Structure 1
Amino acid sequence: MFYAKTKPVQTIREHTDCLVAELERLKSTYGSRFVHMDERMWKLLRLAVEYHDVGKAWPGFQNRLRKQLGEKKLPNTITYSVPHNYLSVGMIPIKKYKLTKEESRLLIHAVGYHHERSELPDKEKIEEILENEMRPYLPQLIDHMKLDIPETFSYKSIARLSKRYSQFDDDFYKYVLLKGLVHRIDHAASAGVDIELHADKHIGAQVTAYMEHKGYAKNELQQFAEANTDKSIIVIAQTGMGKTEAALLWINEDKGFFTLPLRVSINAIYDRILSPQEINYHPEALGLLHSTSNDYLQEKEELDEKWEDIYRHSRHLSSKLLLTTIDQILKFPFGYRGFEKELAAMANAKVVIDEIQAYEPKIAAMLIKALEMIHKIGGKFMVMTATLPTIYLDELKKRNIITESDVGKFINQDITRHRICLRQEGITEVGEEIIEQAKDTQVLVIVNTVRRAVKMYEQLRKVDPEANVYLLHSQFTQEDRKLLEEEIKSFNKPKPGEPRRSGVWVTTQLVEASLDIDFDYLYTEISTLDSFFQRLGRCYRNGKRSPVQPNVYVFTEDVAGLGYIYDADLVKKGLALLQPYQGRILDEQAKVEMVQRLYSRESLANTAFLREFEEALHEFDFLDFYEVTGQEAQKKLRDIQTVQVIPECFFDEIFDLVKEYEKCQVDWKRRQEIRRKIEAKSIGVYRFQAEDKLSTLSGLDNIFILHCGYEFDRESRQGRGIVSDIEITMFS
């Protein structure tokens, strides 16, 4: 008997049969959706699955498992180890299956690299193991696997592993698809999950039923999306036009990935799609994947005990519709070892990228490259945004993956919501005005840094200590920030029967796209136009008529964050474009045109923005793949390493939990529960800004005690958050 694994105990043949079952499931559900998977490719995939683990029969591998099972070891004299995937390659009868030279290379590499190892194949060691320790077991292995394995091992095949595929090879995307599907099939079978779930649950039909039930007619945007489900598209549409519904109608009956920049936005859409009062989609067909999705799912009472399965299916990309962040599924342009799994998952699917303008130029370059790779592997994408930088669209056209007919622009000019007033003064100079304005209205103040937000909050509290003044930024603990996000929503949109309160909320760009809020007046520091227009979406969002007086005040002096949060050149150019609208209505058409002008190649000439974008694109276009790991790629994507810190004032509260966590080594669920309670007291900070004020927290990776003060009253929902001399202006 030859074992493949011990938890659960499974032979190589049993494990292989599980893979074959998942392959058949994949083919029966989405076989017709794979552009590059003809019958020859399906044959190669079947062969890769059948032969991928035969190398595990080597006594050196078997003895590791037999030791765990308490069974007698097999004779084994070789002391060094060789990855079993390299051994498997030598046992594939290439000639028997009459493969072409390129087909055999595809198969050899799909099997040989179905596990990515830092150790490269050593032909001499592989040959010694196959000849001296595998050959005696060959008859038993053939009988066990019910496969043809040649008596003469193929060392020529092993030699062909030395030259890996590059993105410049003609069959690169065939290889990515074949190897990536082996990864997906193997990982799904090993985890005991279906590779694809609920293929019959069509989100498009569910959205149509929801809209009919509500009596909503599909607007032009939604009709455009529904009419173009067979192609990749870009839609430019203002806030409030139903872009989410349009995206889901475009996904229709296909497998879908829906990405947004912020976790809180993703969670909100997840709730809406799941809600019986809204779209009411099947909960087990809907996945959620981001850095804290495990916690979010567990907290949802309506999921009961299903949350663990939903989380597992999300991690294995099995969900029919997966809501996620780009760092989870779209980092494959970095070419990290094992990237093929994520890219292959796009081959039979549709990918939505919402708010592409919200990403910095390096990340946007990665997304442009990702869209090109999705296109080449046979997937489809939809980019939807309120404002699209011209250079992004130009680049997609240049790469022949989007044409002008694939772009839809949808602007409703019936209602104009914002009349702006540009003011040549600093926002901290108008505290008394803001307090006066907020006596009988709701005022939102958005500034560019946490430090400026705290300063503004302190000023307003001094002007009138009795006024309703609240502060929201990223430097509150997870549990307190959650309270504040709930508070701002209830403040802004009270429950039926409750009075609408007046007051002020001071915030950062945190609220630009993450919270569904609608204030009467907006006071804001100038930022880049794309960011500024996002801010406008938090003011007079549901207004029924055009404002006669300004409802948006934009402060252009002593602006925080220029040069490191926002490109100073872009802010200056954007301000020049806004000047003609001083005291006037700023309509949706004007916003779109301004962003097009600002982010044209001519306007961006000699700016850091254009330089970063083009340099990043060039790097992705000529990257040597397989140089980094997935974790390293994720760090690059996040650009600056963040750590979770707990203000030292909470140390006594978490002391017992930390001790219990250290001792609780066996009960995984309890460990997770304890860690969640500890992390509720944490805040994300950039490591380099707090390095000299951190103390390690025993037993907890990447969680530290930060030597700082902390201020927040959970009853009144007021306070400043972290109180420290740390320079925190980079945080939102």
Structure 2
Amino acid sequence: MNWIYPEIKAKGKPDYTTLHAHLLHVGEAARHFAQAMGFDPEIAYIGAILHDIGKASPVFQQRLEAKEKPRFPFRHELASLLFLPCFDEKLHEPLIEMVVAHHKSIKNDPRRKGILDLEEEHEDVFALHAKGWDDWAPKAVALLQACGVPLVAAEAPSLDSAEDAYYRVVAYCEKKVKQRGYAKWRGLLMAADHFASALIDQTSEYVPRTFRAPDLSFYERQHPLYPLSLILTNDPRPHTIVVAPTGAGKTDFLLRRCTGRVFYTLPFQASINAMYQRIRNDLLPSNPELDIRILHGSSKVVVEGGKPVEQVLQPLVGSAVKVLTPHQLAGALFGVNGYEALLLDLQGCDVILDEVHTYTGVSQAIVVRIVELLRKLDCRVHIGTATLPTCLYEELLSLLGSEHTFQVRLPADVLETFNRHTVYKPDPEEIWAIVDQAIARREKVLVVCNRVQYAQEMYVQMREHSPDVDILLLHSRFKRCDRTEKELLLMGMDEQKRPVHRFNTADGPCIVVSTQVVEVSLDISFDLMITDCAPIDALIQRFGRINRKRSEKTIGHYKPVYVLPPPESKNDALPYDLEVLERSYEVLPDGEVLSETT
């Protein structure tokens, strides 16, 4: 395409995207997103074209290449709003909402660069943003025309008209800043701007793939070993709470309950990585263009093997399925930068909150508040866990509404078939004999510690005690690339998901020392566990990594889990409450099968 005024840039190094190109990219994304989100697509397109037109100012162009930081801040979005007179006055309110704060809050911006901040702290704000008006305003209007937006006049506004527009924007913002709520139009513009800025010339290719509900019919599969697969999910109630043992088919069941775009939340990076790969393996063979994404602190590492565009897509709106932590959703609660776009992205979607029992204290409170927020956004909320404290269950059910929630539990006779662990309470000095006997039987041993320091110390002791045995240490403090490599090794797979016959796929004995990161959504099955005492619900989840592979032959066969006594001091009990540990330890059986029905 022939860009007009190609010397006018929207971006500096390394892309030097022309302003004409950037405006069209954002406009295309905004129009598509508006259609999906229930906005007027044409107003969205106009706002997208207007939002950066102020970059045509020579002040901005000079600052793109400036080596020294200018004394006075120039906000291109404010210069853009000087062109409001070019548009029908009925459009001014949504245009202001889209443009004025798409980078900075209008007031109390952390760097004091919002429009009202500038008005408080600087003189002649308008004069700087209109500098050289007669020279550059006609070029800006020509760009607007080239992008195909309807203008009320073909000429650039006069300087007086631009000044009047600026102060009308100031007055509008002074009124709005006193009101509660959030700017939906701002969220739409920010979503489109971030998308187009990340994908640049590939925007046209990827925009049509966004906001598509996935075909989840793959998960309609049934098998008698997975009793949840035999339960119909077409209950008309929008929300779900399912409590069932590990291996009962919760993941498939929760996904079958979804009817729209899906946000799948899990608590730990390792479990998120595993779920992301699982869903990709399940769905992409029949739909290779399905937009499946992952989002956590190290998610770029996970998609490193893919195209570069896959990395920049991860935090953007519009995915068919996104696997993430609840803390990524918590940004909408706390109003972090870009929260408006996140709220719009979530609106009306299916949100799965898996393994909610693992959250404690502040994290648990945040999850409860997230459920409140999701209800207000008309989301369908699906909660799944192996165990859930009664008080938390009742609070979540109250938030969702019992009349709106499909509650699922397996009957007692089915739960009994999931009994697979014999619990023992050994003295700490006995664990070395237990390990020796397991190694002699060529078994896989999993040792779980409550704190990273304890895991590191135990790993050293295990190395010294069993120097000829393959041993792995896994916890949350490894560097991103090392953590990803260790998770693959724990699974016993290479990067192509082929067995490497180590740890989970080992043919002989091995030892893994880990922290709580091993508790959820890692599809591993070891023969024996030695674990620090933890709250009863966390212990049950940990036990799910032992004797996990369920078959007709394994039903009725039990494998041992050894739970060590709680420490004596409150500090040593952290991150858990000592009283909770003592009570959990007290109710555990010793030398008996742990029943799933109790």
CA spacing shift, 1:198–1:341, aligned 2, 3 Å: closer
Residue 363 of structure 2 corresponds to: 363
Residue 114 of structure 2 corresponds to: 120
CA spacing shift, 1:339–1:4, aligned 2, 3 Å: farther
Q: What is the distance in 1 between the residues matched to 2:383 and 2:318?
A: 23
Q: Which of 575, 586, 596 does residue 585 from structure 2 map onto?
A: 575
Residue 596 of structure 2 corresponds to: 588
Q: What is the distance in 1 between the residues matched to 2:483 and 2:126?
A: 59
Cα deviation for residue 113 of structure 1 reads: 0.4
CA spacing shift, 1:46–1:523, aligned 2, 3 Å: same
CA deviation vs aligned residue, 1:50-106 (integer Å, no higher than 9, x gap): 4322333433224445989xxxxxxxxx9834312123334424994336xxx93x5
CA deviation vs aligned residue, 1:104-128 (integer Å, no higher than 9, x gap): 3x54333210112621323453333
Q: Which of 262, 281, 299 does residue 293 from structure 1 map onto?
A: 299
Q: What is the distance in 1 between the residues matched to 2:419 and 2:224?
A: 22
- Check conservation: 2:98, 2:188, Cα contact below 8 A: no
CA spacing shift, 1:366–1:125, aligned 2, 3 Å: farther
Cα deviation for residue 483 of structure 1 reads: 6.3
Q: What is the distance in 2 between the residues matched to 1:551 and 1:64?
A: 67
Q: What is the distance in 2 between the residues matched to 1:190 and 1:480?
A: 31
CA spacing shift, 1:12–1:232, aligned 2, 3 Å: farther
State the one-letter code of the partner of 2:360: E
> Could you say what secondary structure the match of 1:113 adopts?
coil
State the one-letter code of the partner of 2:89: Y
- Check conservation: 1:294, 1:311, Cα contact below 8 A: yes
State the one-letter code of the partner of 1:98: K
CA spacing shift, 1:357–1:185, aligned 2, 3 Å: same
Q: Which of 517, 530, 541 does residue 510 from structure 1 map onto?
A: 517
CA spacing shift, 1:406–1:553, aligned 2, 3 Å: same
> Could you say what secondary structure the match of 1:271 adopts?
helix
State the one-letter code of the partner of 1:273: I
> Could you say what secondary structure the match of 1:416 adopts?
coil
CA spacing shift, 1:195–1:526, aligned 2, 3 Å: same
Q: What is the distance in 1 between the residues matched to 2:72 and 2:464?
A: 72
Q: Please say if 1:331 is aligned against 2:331.
A: yes
Q: Which of 160, 170, 174 does residue 172 from structure 2 map onto?
A: 160
- Check conservation: 1:203, 1:251, Cα contact below 8 A: no
Cα deviation for residue 489 of structure 1 reads: 4.1
State the one-letter code of the partner of 2:269: R
5 Å-filtered alignment, 1:37-436, equals: 37=38, 39=40, 42=41, 44-64=43-63, 80-93=72-85, 96-98=88-90, 104=93, 107-116=95-104, 118=111, 119-121=113-115, 122-123=118-119, 124-129=123-128, 133-134=132-133, 137-146=136-145, 147-148=151-152, 151=158, 152=161, 153-154=164-165, 155-162=167-174, 169=180, 172-173=181-182, 175=183, 177-191=184-198, 192=200, 193=203, 194-195=206-207, 197=209, 202-208=214-220, 211=221, 219-220=227-228, 223=231, 225=233, 227=235, 231-252=238-259, 254-275=260-281, 281-282=287-288, 285-299=291-305, 303=306, 307-347=307-347, 349-397=349-397, 400-411=399-410, 412-421=414-423, 423=425, 426-436=427-437
Cα deviation for residue 534 of structure 1 reads: 1.3
- Check conservation: 1:236, 1:385, Cα contact below 8 A: yes
- Check conservation: 1:273, 1:280, Cα contact below 8 A: no
- Check conservation: 2:446, 2:530, Cα contact below 8 A: yes
State the TM-score, normalizing by the size of structure 1: 0.64
Q: What is the distance in 2 between the residues matched to 1:278 and 1:130?
A: 49
Cα deviation for residue 513 of structure 1 reads: 1.9
- Check conservation: 1:470, 1:504, Cα contact below 8 A: yes
Aligned length in residues: 545
CA spacing shift, 1:135–1:348, aligned 2, 3 Å: farther
Cα deviation for residue 285 of structure 1 reads: 2.3
> Could you say what secondary structure the match of 2:257 adopts?
helix
Cα deviation for residue 370 of structure 1 reads: 2.9
State the one-letter code of the partner of 1:261: P
Cα deviation for residue 240 of structure 1 reads: 0.9
Q: What is the distance in 2 between the residues matched to 1:62 and 1:482?
A: 42
Q: What is the distance in 1 between the residues matched to 2:284 and 2:21?
A: 44
5 Å-filtered alignment, 1:689-704, equals: none
Residue 10 of structure 2 corresponds to: 5
> Could you say what secondary structure the match of 1:288 adopts?
strand
Q: Which of 447, 458, 467 does residue 449 from structure 2 map onto?
A: 447
State the TM-score, normalizing by the size of structure 2: 0.77
> Could you say what secondary structure the match of 1:233 adopts?
strand
Q: What is the distance in 2 between the residues matched to 1:549 and 1:397?
A: 34
Q: What is the distance in 1 between the residues matched to 2:51 and 2:283?
A: 47
CA spacing shift, 1:508–1:64, aligned 2, 3 Å: closer
CA deviation vs aligned residue, 1:360-379 (integer Å, no higher than 9, x gap): 32223223333333332344
Cα RMSD of the aligned pairs, angstroms, is: 4.0
Q: What is the distance in 2 between the residues matched to 1:429 and 1:26?
A: 61
Q: What is the distance in 2 between the residues matched to 1:55 and 1:532?
A: 58
> Could you say what secondary structure the match of 2:597 adopts?
helix
Q: What is the distance in 1 between the residues matched to 2:239 and 2:227?
A: 20
CA spacing shift, 1:312–1:452, aligned 2, 3 Å: closer
State the one-letter code of the partner of 2:533: I
- Check conservation: 2:455, 2:513, Cα contact below 8 A: yes
